[in-house]
Amino acid sequence: MALRSIIASALLLTGAVSGDCSNKLAVSYPAPVAAQGWSYQLVANGFTKPRGIQFDKDGGLLVIDAGAGLVHLSLKDDGNTCVSVDKKTTLLASKELNHGIALTDDGKTLYASSADKVYEWTYDSKTVTLGDANRTIVTNMSNSDHTTRTLLLSRKKPGILLVSRGSQSNEDSNAEDLDSGHSQIRSFDLSQLGSGSGSSSSATPYAYLDGHVIGWGLRNSVGVAEDPSSGGLWSVENSVDQLHRKGRDIHQDNPAEELNYHGTVDQDDDGGGGNNSNNNKTQGGNYGYPVCYAIWSPANFPDLGALTTASQFPDDDAPGNVTDAACNDDYVAPRLAFQAHTAPLDIKFDADGAYAYISFHGSWNREAPVGYRIARVAFKDGQPAAPRDSMDAAVDVLATKDLSNCPDRCFRPVGLAWDAKGRLWFSSDSTGEIFVMQHDGSSGSGNGKDGKSVAGRRAPELAVVAFVVTAVAAFVS
């Protein structure tokens, strides 16, 4: 009788743990597939175009909904990936804000960007309110085409704000001039705003050209991150379309998207190396655009010679005196190359810097679609573990199984953010959705159906099974 009681109780507990999540949201397109040990769940939908996301100090999720404004989500958390929206609050209705968002370590100051400006507000996460007035921090960034202005606040050196600015066109000749401000990442010391360094009063913002150059010759480096272990600054680059080499169209698989290294926020421009050539700089160097690009696929590459994946080369529009050798000697090479046209839009490190997670938004300019996935790159001692010419350094965490549905019937990941429980959240702009992911360590595939992954509940179920076995064994003995 006692044995029956133990088993019945355990089965009831198993049923309680493995019961369906109260969140019944599902995607309306073929669901992406999670890698083994990962689970995910659609948490919110109905956004206009969700881009950058950021958690506040009280667990609320801040979302830049491009063309709509700044939104706050209060969450109902039932554990694992069973999370739903308890309340949605529009903090600011604005058609101007389009991508960038950052929050200070104390959670009291919020930054967001438009195509031309970076704004600052006071923020209270407990009352979920913005200050009545904002202050403009950075301005004069109003080129067209690539208009997102990604923001990153350094954790290693608080008060330093990085702002990434893209090109004005596919191949923007203005980007060859450092003083254009095009295709660059610059940093700004917020503690000096109004003290005479780039500004004459507290009411006068920095001009973009006032910023310290982190890197230039970067066509559209939308994702920017700081390694929490080393303080290293990294960006992911969206390279050009419609490229030709020696009169041949190579745009299907070249040039590569890039992972670029930019040193740390507190180092000298030459990284202490004593060599001021661009190729030896770890900060402030020219990464090549719009003159030199990186190879993704060497297959059938015209006049390949000794070039390999991640080697740089000039395209047919480059000045006649720019050679393959010049591209590799005079410009900063990427640390890793990724499949052309996959469009990496964000990069976030995990807590110990062991992996960098990258959202690949997906292609529009390739016959066979690529991207539409979230992948991670392993790091060791502050650098990617894979060699520079690796073609498999980015390992899928969540991916679209049938790319023939893309782009119209696929998720398109953009912003990434970690919550306090170590779960990875992401936005999908074209579908207007927000998701949560978790690595549960289970042996299952994590494959979800309609955006509702079940793998996240497998670990608790296994724990209950273990309880049953232990209880029965104890009774029998």
* Distance separating the N- and C-terminal Cα atoms of the chain: 16
Q: What percent of the chain has pLDDT over 70?
A: 83
Asked whether residue 214 is assigned to any structural domain, the reply reads yes
Asked whether residue 92 is assigned to any structural domain, the reply reads yes
pLDDT tier, 320 (very low <50, low <70, confident <90, very high otherwise): confident
Question: Which residues is 394 bridged to in the sheet?
Answer: 377
Q: Give residues with Cβ within 8 angstroms of 417, minimum separation 6.
A: 53, 54, 55, 61, 348, 424, 425, 426
Q: What sign does the CA torsion over 71, 99, 340, 221 have? A: negative
Name the E strands within 254-387: 257-261, 292-294, 312-314, 336-338, 344-349, 355-360, 373-380, 383-384
pLDDT at 299: 96
Asked whether residue 310 is assigned to any structural domain, the reply reads no
Per-residue pLDDT reduced to its tens digit, 433-459? 999 999 986 533 344 445 665 443 343
* Average pLDDT value for residue range 159-181: 94
Cis peptide, bond prior to residue 369, ω within 30 of zero: no
Please give the structure tokens belonging to residue 68.
């709509």
Tell me the three state secondary structure of residue 161: strand
Nearest C-alpha neighbor of 182 from the set 205, 160, 137, 149: 149
Cis peptide, bond prior to residue 255, ω within 30 of zero: yes
Per-residue pLDDT reduced to its tens digit, 346-383? 999 999 999 999 999 999 889 999 999 999 999 999 99
pLDDT at 462: 38
Q: Is the pLDDT of residue 399 over 50?
A: yes
Among 172-186, 299-313, 441-455, which stretch is predicted with the lowest mean pLDDT? 441-455
Residues in the chain: 477
* Average pLDDT value for residue range 58-70: 98
CATH number for 182: 2.120.10.30
pLDDT at 452: 60
Asked whether residue 461 is assigned to any structural domain, the reply reads no
Q: Is the pLDDT of residue 174 over 90?
A: yes
The domain of 241 spans 34-268+278-287+338-377+391-439
- Strand pairing report for 135-139 and 206-207: parallel
Structural domains counted in the chain: 1
Please, how many CA atoms are within 13 Å of residue 127, restricted to the half-sphere of its CB? 7
Quick count: other Cβ atoms within 10 Å of Cβ 2? 8
pLDDT at 448: 45
Q: What percent of the chain has pLDDT over 90?
A: 76
* Average pLDDT value for residue range 18-35: 89
Tell me the three state secondary structure of residue 245: strand
pLDDT at 152: 99
* Average pLDDT value for residue range 178-186: 97
Dist. CA 64–CA 86, nearest whole Å: 18
pLDDT at 278: 55
pLDDT at 460: 40
- Strand pairing report for 312-314 and 355-360: unpaired
pLDDT at 13: 40
Asked whether residue 29 is assigned to any structural domain, the reply reads no
Asked whether residue 39 is assigned to any structural domain, the reply reads yes
- Strand pairing report for 424-428 and 33-34: unpaired
Among 201-205, 251-255, 356-360, 450-454, which stretch is predicted with the lowest mean pLDDT? 450-454
Nearest C-alpha neighbor of 266 from the set 226, 294, 306, 317: 226
Q: Is the pLDDT of residue 266 over 90?
A: no
* Average pLDDT value for residue range 112-128: 97
* Average pLDDT value for residue range 383-387: 98
* Average pLDDT value for residue range 408-423: 98
* Average pLDDT value for residue range 129-151: 93
Asked whether residue 6 is assigned to any structural domain, the reply reads no
Helix axes 458-476, 2-18, angle to 10 degrees: 170
* Average pLDDT value for residue range 184-212: 78
Task: Give, in degrees to the nearest 5, the angle at Cα 412 between 411 and 415.
Answer: 125
Residues 223/359, Cβ–Cβ less than 8 Å: yes
pLDDT tier, 196 (very low <50, low <70, confident <90, very high otherwise): very low
Please give the structure tokens belonging to residue 390.
């690796």
Q: Is the pLDDT of residue 166 over 60?
A: yes
Dist. CA 149–CA 141, nearest whole Å: 9
pLDDT tier, 21 (very low <50, low <70, confident <90, very high otherwise): confident
Residues 101/114, Cβ–Cβ less than 8 Å: no
Among 265-274, 305-314, 325-334, 352-361, which stretch is predicted with the lowest mean pLDDT? 265-274
The overall average pLDDT reported for the chain is 87
Residues 35/374, Cβ–Cβ less than 8 Å: no
* Average pLDDT value for residue range 241-253: 94
DSSP string, 432-463: TEEEEEEE---SS----BTTB--GGGHHHHHH
* Average pLDDT value for residue range 74-96: 97
